Amino acid sequence: MDIIRRSSATATFRSLRQKDWEKISFLNSSNATRNIGIIAHIDAGKTTTTERMLYYSGYTRRIGDVDDGSTVTDFLPAERARGITIQSAAITFNWPPVQGEKGSKDIPSSSRAPGTPRSQTPHLVNLIDTPGHADFTFEVLRSLRILDGAVCILDGVAGVEAQTEKVWTQANNYRIPKIIYVNKLDRDGAAFGRTVKEVGVRLHGWPALCQIPWWKDGKGKLIGVGDVVNLRALSWEEGGDGKVIKSLNLTDVDDAFAKEIKKARVALIEILSEHDDEMVEKFLEYDEDHLAIPGNDLTESLRRCVLQNPQRIIPVFTGASFRNLGVQPLLDAVLDLLPSPEERPDPEISMGVTHSRLNELLAGRLALTSSPQSSKSGKQKTSPTKTQKTLPVVSNLQACALAFKVVNDPRRGVLVYVRVYSGSIDRNAALYNTNLSITERAPKLLRMYASDAVEVDSIAAGHIGVIVGLKYARTGDTLIVYSGANPKSGPPAPLNTLQLRPISVPPPVFFTSVEPNSLSEEKLVSDTLGLLLREDPSLNVSIDSESGQTHLAGMGELHLEIARDRLINDFKARATTGKIEIGYREAILSSSPQITEDVNREVAGKHSRASCTVSVSPLDGTEPRVIEEDDDSTHTSLQVESNDLIIHHPTYTRSGLKLSPDSANLPEHLPLPSIVTALRTGISAALSRGPTHGFSMHSTLVEVHLDPAQIHADSTPAAISTAVRLATQKAVKSAAAERGTVLMEPVMLVAISVNEADIGGVAHDISAARGGQVLSLDGEISSPVSPSATLTTSTSTFPTLHTVKEDFPPIDPRKIYTPPDPFASTDGGEDDDLIGTGSAQRRIVARVPLREMVGYLKHLRSLTGGRGTFVMSVEGFERMSAQRQKAVLKELGGGEGW
């Protein structure tokens, strides 16, 4: 029997000083780095597992506990109070632990002996802990896009839950290699086998069991795991901190367990051979002896399979983090099986209408292809390639990074977490923000260990770090360093529009009012709201032009509750917030004539004037959302939330060139891009309040006809915004006077998991009592979206529910090997049948108006004896019937608006 001590015994990671860090230079190489996320259903044990990772890697001296609020990663007061993770915490540690302090000779070498796994040499792990609650899906998404790999934690009692499926699908969309950790196997009712079969059926991949649970005498007490890859058993001392692991040969464990490990080994080789030719060769090389192939060959084969796209093999590990059992081998698996930044696909970029890949750009091989878009006339046009001739020197592009998270730290100020994709960001570098078109300096750079930090001089490609001192950068912004750029005007076009993997922000569906308690509080409240928006772009702040009231809108009730908590408890803003309500939208039904509005007035002692001509018309949901354009187009199209905006500038190209020497000039201080920004601001304000009920406008096409003669030498952006706002308001009113407006309501795509016995009652309740439309039972979409529905915004965050079948053919659970479950009431065969037919647990997918889903969890629980769960995301907005509209208006106060 061997004792394995894969945890820090002497030095803590934190105790390494800056100069020691520099000495461990291999840790800075990106192939010794893992940027990993932990994804799972709420309460599966992400935070509990992360705390153990920090402890075993030597970063913490005691294990934090979710239940007594002492964890490192859930560090927001609101998170600690609720025991859930709200904000992704990015933390860095190394694994296996660096044992030497002060850069001594104890620091191991980076070189790996042939035939040994990667986990034998120290790596730098950047771990992103993502929230599990559905309201924070956006938070999960923006973390996902910077990850190179993910560990998906499952609750071994509950199995694969609805939220897990959703996040898994999202991770598939980003092509993120994943491994699974089945947690909580110490609990009564733990069902490893059933969970593994659910992985196959619901996550559409073949589970490759790298470990199986070791139950004492085959009964329900978990004492360790069987290591299928290395043919050994690992045990942890009961009640200990888990640092010491005993490794036993198969001859030293009871026969039944040894036999099961061998059975699992055969199954593992079989499944790998189906997906990896090299494994077939190994199998033949070792005379078709499943037990003779060395463990490291299996690890290499697993790695190749995990990196395949699409990923069909899902390595499975197991344990009980709360009992300090199973976490170190999981960390080894992160290094052994998940990719380094260098092994990831070239990141997607966009520059204006061009879509390409970052390394293509850097290598000067930019393929300038536009995303397929159609014109309003429906005609397809081939993509332009003209930008090539104007492409500036790319070798001056010294760094390209994505700000994936902004956090206001009470001690350090605003922290901007970045993932660097190329080059390196050095201290004091001038960062050009391509979303905001501004340059900011990066005065201080940090590497974060949850709430602790080490200052560094630079953050290199492949790494995650923090920039302190940026005043404007927001979550989701792309930051570039371009040598020789003028700090005012930024890098040359089109590099100044370079964006890394942009994600679309779903429309907020709930809102609340925020009222400062006194005039003197107004500034703090507005600054704090500004900061909340920098942190979380899925929040939205608007000011009702009539009542002057501030509205804070978000994705869900919990989302807004947390924002409210942050505002009042964390930032100590003195404000009163209203009830959380559904954010309906208002739409016009007919078009307006062209309306011109002149502004000619004194503002702050300065004379300013501008005119604008605007018309509006309804979008009926069948119109394409974006019209094709290139730098030579004589219009600019933009989207203002769910409304389209087209600015016609017949005498100028989109890039600001005058088409004929005879056409009127634009004033020098107002180039076309500044005018477009001013127009957008004014139109956005006008559309934030509908003419009849005061809800913001939806499905409106606003067309501005820009005549340079209307922009004068004394015009200002503010005057242009005001003129266009007034003109749009008048145009909307005129359209509403013709045929009125209609209310639109958010409609959710809902996935409900229930037991077989409850399916009829729940489906009936959805369609009869809640006006929902059942789309599928068990993931089979019976009918697409209702043809009568006016869905003008499709924002579903799990659209692949519709495509799962074609991407991944169904997996027959009878073909998945699993060891017996100690708590199983039926034998394995019957259980297989249950899972295969979906009789064990059924899933209903439906479209339901959000209004009918408020308080649904409680109702579902009562319908299903507490067993039903559901997830939902916004699918779009739909016009309401006259009857529903009447009911809603009555509820809101007699149809007089608010």
Ligand X SMILES: Nc1nc2c(ncn2[C@@H]2O[C@H](COP(=O)(O)OP(=O)(O)OP(=O)(O)O)[C@@H](O)[C@H]2O)c(=O)[nH]1
- Coil vs helix vs strand at 468: strand
Q: Which of 66, 125, 353, 676 binds ligand X (CB under 6 A)?
A: 66
Region near ligand X per CB under 6 A, out of 183-191, 205-213, 578-586, 647-655? 183-191
CB-based contact 616:591 (threshold 8 Å): yes
Region near ligand X per CB under 6 A, out of 12-20, 41-49, 52-60, 600-608? 41-49
Q: Which of 721, 480, 497 is nearest to 630 (CA)?
A: 497
Contacts (CB under 6 A) with ligand X, residues 645-664: none
**137 touches ligand X (CB under 6 A):** no
Phi, psi of 733, deg, nearest 5: -60, -40
d(CA 25, CA 5) in angstroms, rounded, equals: 25
At which residue do the structure tokens 């560094």 appear?
A: 456
Nearest-approach distance from CB 821 to ligand X, in angstroms: 16
CA-CA distances (angstroms) from residue 422 to 223, 272, 346, 481? 45, 34, 10, 10
Nearest-approach distance from CB 304 to ligand X, in angstroms: 30
| Nearest CB to ligand X, comparing residues 321 and 370 | 321
- Coil vs helix vs strand at 533: helix
Q: Which of 6, 46, 609, 654 binds ligand X (CB under 6 A)?
A: 46
What is the x/- site pattern for ligand X, positions 200-229, by CB under 6 A?
------------------------------
| Nearest CB to ligand X, comparing residues 129 and 629 | 129
- At 744, which helix (H) or strand (E)? strand 741-754
Pairing of strands 178-183, 206-209: unpaired
Q: Which of 94, 164, 169, 183 binds ligand X (CB under 6 A)?
A: 183
Residue type, 22: E
Q: Which of 167, 212, 146, 193 is nearest to 46 (CA)?
A: 167
Nearest-approach distance from CB 881 to ligand X, in angstroms: 38
33 among annotated binding-site residues: no
Residue 277 has a CB neighbour count (10 Å cut-off) of: 10
**242 touches ligand X (CB under 6 A):** no
Q: Which of 84, 185, 76, 69 is nearest to 130 (CA)?
A: 84
CA 876 to chain centre: 19
| Nearest CB to ligand X, comparing residues 26 and 75 | 75
Q: Which of 43, 227, 852, 875 binds ligand X (CB under 6 A)?
A: 43
| Nearest CB to ligand X, comparing residues 46 and 447 | 46
Nearest-approach distance from CB 614 to ligand X, in angstroms: 47
- Coil vs helix vs strand at 430: strand
645 among annotated binding-site residues: no
**91 touches ligand X (CB under 6 A):** no
For the record, the structure tokens of 223 come out as: 């004492």
789 among annotated binding-site residues: no
Q: Which of 16, 36, 78, 84 binds ligand X (CB under 6 A)?
A: 84
Nearest-approach distance from CB 325 to ligand X, in angstroms: 8
204 among annotated binding-site residues: no
Q: Buried (b) or exposed (e) across 783-794, using 16+ Cβ within 10 A?
A: eebeeebbbbbe
CB-based contact 845:761 (threshold 8 Å): no
42 among annotated binding-site residues: yes
**45 touches ligand X (CB under 6 A):** yes
Q: Which of 57, 85, 169, 499 binds ligand X (CB under 6 A)?
A: 85
At which residue do the structure tokens 């004014």 appear?
A: 682
Helices (H), 478-551: 522-535
d(CA 63, CA 123) in angstroms, rounded, equals: 22
**44 touches ligand X (CB under 6 A):** yes
713 among annotated binding-site residues: no
**635 touches ligand X (CB under 6 A):** no
Q: Which of 37, 64, 132, 682 binds ligand X (CB under 6 A)?
A: 132
Contacts (CB under 6 A) with ligand X, residues 315-354: 320-323
**187 touches ligand X (CB under 6 A):** yes
45 among annotated binding-site residues: yes
292 among annotated binding-site residues: no
Region near ligand X per CB under 6 A, out of 6-14, 44-52, 470-478, 496-504? 44-52
DSSP E strand stretches across 250-320: 313-318
Q: Which of 118, 184, 232, 725 binds ligand X (CB under 6 A)?
A: 184
Region near ligand X per CB under 6 A, out of 56-64, 79-87, 802-810, 849-857? 79-87
40 among annotated binding-site residues: yes
646 among annotated binding-site residues: no
For the record, the structure tokens of 51 come out as: 């705390």
At which residue do the structure tokens 């995990």 appear?
A: 306
- At 599, which helix (H) or strand (E)? strand 595-603
Kindly give the interhelix angle for 162-173 and 192-203, rounded to the nearest 10 degrees.
Answer: 50
| Nearest CB to ligand X, comparing residues 500 and 872 | 872
Contacts of 796 (CB under 8 A, 6+ apart): 749, 873, 874, 875, 876
| Nearest CB to ligand X, comparing residues 84 and 678 | 84
- Coil vs helix vs strand at 674: helix
Q: How many residues bind ligand X (CB under 6 A)?
A: 23
Q: Which residues are annotated as a binding site for GTP?
A: 40-47, 129-133, 183-186
Binding residues: 40-47, 129-133, 183-186
The residue ranges that bind ligand X (CB under 6 A) are 40, 42-48, 66-67, 83-85, 131-132, 183-184, 186-187, 320-323
